[in-house]
A and B are shown apart, each in its own frame.
Chain A
Amino acid sequence: MRFSDLISLIIDNLGRRKGRVLLTAIGVVIGTAAVVTLVSLGAGLQKSATSNLWGINDLSSIQVSPGYPKYEPGMSFNEADIKKITPAVIEQFKGMKGVKQVIIKDNIRGGSLLKYGKMEGWGNFNSVSVPDIKDLGIEAAQGVTVVEKGQVILGSQYKNNFYDPNQKPGKEPEQLPDLFGKTIDVQFIKWDNEGNQTIRRAKLEVVGILKESRSEHDWSMYINNDEMLKVNEWIAGKRIDFSKEGYNNVVVQAISPDVVVELAKQITELGFQAYTPQEAVEGINSFFAIMQIVFGGVGAIALLVAAIGIANTMTMAILERTREIGIMKAIGATNNNILAIFLGEAAGIGFLGGIGGVLLGWAICAVVNALGSSLLASGGGGGAGTQLNAIIPLWLPIFSVAFATVVGLISGLFPSLNAATMVPVDALKYE
């Protein structure tokens, strides 16, 4: 039998019982639509959740901080119990397999005030031990990422740091101009034990503005590392010995994200606190993978019910057409011909239902997305809230139609085998 003849016979046979084929296919449509919608919603939620973790752009970094002993009730706290990150420890980190570099971060240990024109702001000064802060995985929107003495690089949200102290109610607040290339006045402030404050003034030229990264960098200001040390020693009133005090915050960068989790584990075992965004991202990804499987599973149950419907329809069809099977055998059809015809019909129902289901699922996703965005618009929230958003991955429609067809094929297998192996004379005599 020619393949084209087989297909046309299958189409003719399906066309003979339109009503029943349609009703059976509706089951498949619902099942497939459920799979498409739920998996797309899962994918959308995952995208939405990971985009909220936008700041995590450097998956090969580990944030390390000193290790504190586990607190237990009645425990007395001893400074010797703190696991400090001394320069020797930094060397130890550098010697670990898979470590690319170790960046020491520091921040100002006293108060600071910024002034530009009438505007004032607070300073959130940081510094890194490497010349280029690009190594932290951040980029400049304007200017450079290398900061020398007397210079500063501002985070993307710097304008929100400034305010007008003489702002009068009802008066339009003054706008801070773009500070790139400008010089700002800075007051570093320290207090003695009686609460008297001392001020150290400096002028800093803005040589760079960072790109938004939705992380702490957006609110940071980077100054030169040596300048930071000087200011901090002025605030402390003494030389700082890092081999005694240790560093507060160190970034260990791995050669690739693949080794990050293992490195973090080793650092934790040494007694330090290690945090890697990779762990969070992996956790979130595995959570969503499980969610998509569960969602897909719910849809698959709907498809299973549809499969029983197909099996039922095919069983009925074969009972009704028993004589026809006898006729086909009498005029020379082989068992394989009969099997192919009935399997083809079952798969055809699955295929039609699959296409219908993909279209319905796609429509539901479109409605969900439309509702999701209109709700956000009316809420007026804007920003980075979690949105209800369905994303149909490219593979999903193809997979769904194929899956529905296979479901049809499998459902039709048992009835079709029954049809194919009927004794011709019994089939012909069937009333």
Chain B
Amino acid sequence: MSNTSFVRVSDLYKIYQMGNQEVRALDGVSLELQEGSFNVIMGPSGSGKSTLLYLVGGLDWPTSGQIEVDGQRIELMDENQLAQYRREKLGFIFQSFNLVSSMSAEANVAFPLRFSGVKKAKRLKRAVSLLERMGLKERIGHKPTELSGGQQQRVAVSRALVNNPSLILADEPTGNLDTTSGTIIMDLLKELREEGKTILVATHDPRMLQYATNAIFLIDGKEVTEENYKKTIQQQG
């Protein structure tokens, strides 16, 4: 793990208007992630952890504040620049897998490469090698509905890796999985971190902390210490 900060977020606000009420999803968050680190954002539902993840991923715009990834200012990018950023630097993993139901595992994994203009033979070859690595060699022609939750999430991880990203963003990746499948995914993320990728996971699964090199605790859109976090959770719990 190098000491350069790969992601730098400063004074980030995301404020929604819900009717007359102002919802502060992120209320002035600042953080730095080192290159090749495994970062876990812990927080209960509604704490703003997913919002933070999506803002770093350029899938949404902040109300104010700065997001810098690999020297690039994300919040200043236009639509096309954001698309390129996501295409070249990022891999997303979602709680509900978000695979395209009409496509086979192989086609799902290869899908991002279509938007990069990679030729069909090349992108399928890459997809197959990733699926083999995930232990899904026998399943490459199967549709998502023919796969278990754990298998679907491994297909999703393969898709996130197909463009060889430097930053992997995972939103509750174990949220829909049983314990064993969840462990497999966590181990996979650890492996990827060891290969030099920067990992940012939003979760409320405390097991994830064992893998983390850095943990961020969020409550009501604000960063809190681990102590205060545990206290609040206990009070709520």
A: which residues have CB within 8 A of B? 1-2, 5, 9, 12-13, 16, 323-324, 326-337, 423-425, 428
> CA A329 – CA B86 in complex, angstroms?
8
Q: Is the Cβ of B114 less than 8 Å from the Cβ of A1?
A: yes
Whether A333 lies near B83 (C-beta < 8 A) is: yes
- With A16-B102, A425-B54, A425-B59 as given contacts, are A331 and B92 in contact (CB-CB < 8 Å)? yes
B112 touches A331 (CB 8 A): yes
- Docked complex Cα distance between A36 and B160 (Å): 50
Distance from B96 Cβ to chain A, minimum over Cβ atoms (Å): 9
Residues from chain B with Cβ under 8 Å of A324 in the complex: 100
Q: B4 at interface (Cβ–Cβ under 8 A)? A: no
Q: Which one of A329, A332, A424 has the highest number of Cβ atoms from chain B below 10 Å of its Cβ?
A: A332
Q: Residues of A contacting B98 with CB < 8 Å?
A: 323, 326-327, 330, 428
- CA of A186 to CA of B215, assembled, Å: 125
B120 at the interface (CB under 8 A from A): yes
The tally of residues in B whose CB lies under 8 Å from a CB in A reads: 28
CB of B60 within 8 A of CB of A332, answer no
State whether the Cβ of B38 lies closer than 8 Å to any Cβ in chain A.
no
The residues in B between 110 and 146 inclusive whose CB is less than 8 angstroms from any CB of A are: 111-112, 114-117, 119-120
Extra contacts besides A2-B114, A424-B54, A425-B60 (20): CB < 8 Å: A2-B117, A2-B119, A13-B102, A327-B100, A328-B111, A328-B115, A329-B83, A330-B57, A330-B86, A331-B87, A331-B115, A332-B87, A332-B116, A333-B83, A334-B84, A335-B79, A423-B61, A425-B54, A428-B94, A428-B98
Chain A hits for B80, CB < 8 A: 334-336
Type the 1/0 row for B80-91, where 1 means its CB is closer than 8 Å to any CB of A.
100110111000
Instruction: State how many angstroms separate the Cβ of B43 from the closest Cβ of chain A.
Output: 17
**Within 8 Å CB of A331, what residues of B?**
86-87, 92, 111-112, 115, 159
A334 to B87, CA, bound (A): 9
Tell whether B163 is near chain A: CB-to-CB under 8 Å: yes
Most A-side CB within 10 Å, residue of B80, B99, B114: B114
Q: A12 contacts which chain B residues (CB < 8 A)? A: 102
Is the CB–CB distance between B115 and A332 below 8 Å? Answer: yes
**A209 vs B57: C-alpha distance in the bound complex, in angstroms?**
92
Can you give 7 contacting A-B residue pairs, CB < 8 Å? A12-B102, A331-B87, A332-B83, A332-B88, A332-B115, A423-B61, A424-B59
In chain B, residues 91-109, which have Cβ atoms closer than 8 Å to a Cβ of chain A? Answer: 92, 94, 98-100, 102
- The docked-state distance in angstroms from the alpha carbon of A5 to that of B99 is 19
> Residue on A with the closest CB to B100?
A324
6 closest A-B pairs by CB: A332-B87, A331-B112, A424-B59, A425-B60, A334-B83, A425-B59
Closest to A337 in B: B115
Given A9-B114, A12-B102, A425-B54, A329:B84 Cβ within 8 A: no
Q: Please indicate the chain B residues that have their CB under 8 angstroms from the CB of A336 in the complex.
A: 80
Name the residue of chain B whose CB is nearest to the CB of A321. B100
Complex Cα gap A323–B79 (Å): 18
CA distance A425 to B62 in the complex (A): 12
Mark out the residues of chain B between 55 and 88 whose CB falls within 8 Å of any chain A CB in the assembled complex. Answer: 57, 59-61, 79-80, 83-84, 86-88
- Per the bound structure, the CA–CA distance linking A327 and B92 in Å amounts to 9
CB atoms of B92 and A330 under 8 A apart: yes
CA–CA, A428 to B102, complex, Å? 17
Contact assessment for B60 and A334 in the assembled complex, using a CB-CB cutoff below 8 Å = no
Instruction: Provide the bound-state CA to CA distance between A332 and B112, in Å.
Output: 6
Residue ID in chain B nearest A323 by CB atoms: B98
Q: Which of B83, B88, B112, B116 has the most CB of A within 10 A?
A: B83
Q: Which residue of B lies closest to A327 (CB)?
A: B98
Roughly how many angstroms separate A331 CA and B111 CA in the complex, as a whole number? 8
B80 to chain A, nearest CB (A): 5
Give B166 Cβ to nearest chain A Cβ, in Å.
14
> Which partner residue on chain A sits nearest B81 by CB separation?
A334
Q: A327-B98, A331-B159, A332-B112 are in contact. Are A423 and B83 (CB under 8 A)?
A: no
Q: Is the CB of B60 within 8 A of A423?
A: yes
**Closest Cβ of chain A: how far from B224's Cβ, in Å?**
24
Contacts of B115 in A (CB 8 A): 1, 328, 331-334, 337
| A332 and B59 contacting across the interface, CB-CB below 8 Å | no
Whole-angstrom distance between the alpha carbons of A9 and B107 in the complex?
Answer: 11
Q: How far is the CA of A16 from the CA of B100 in the complex (A)?
A: 12
Residue from the set B54, B86, B115, B120 with the largest chain A CB neighbour count within 10 Å: B115
Neighbouring A residues of B159 by C-beta, 8 Å: 331
B59 and A329: CB pair below 8 A? yes
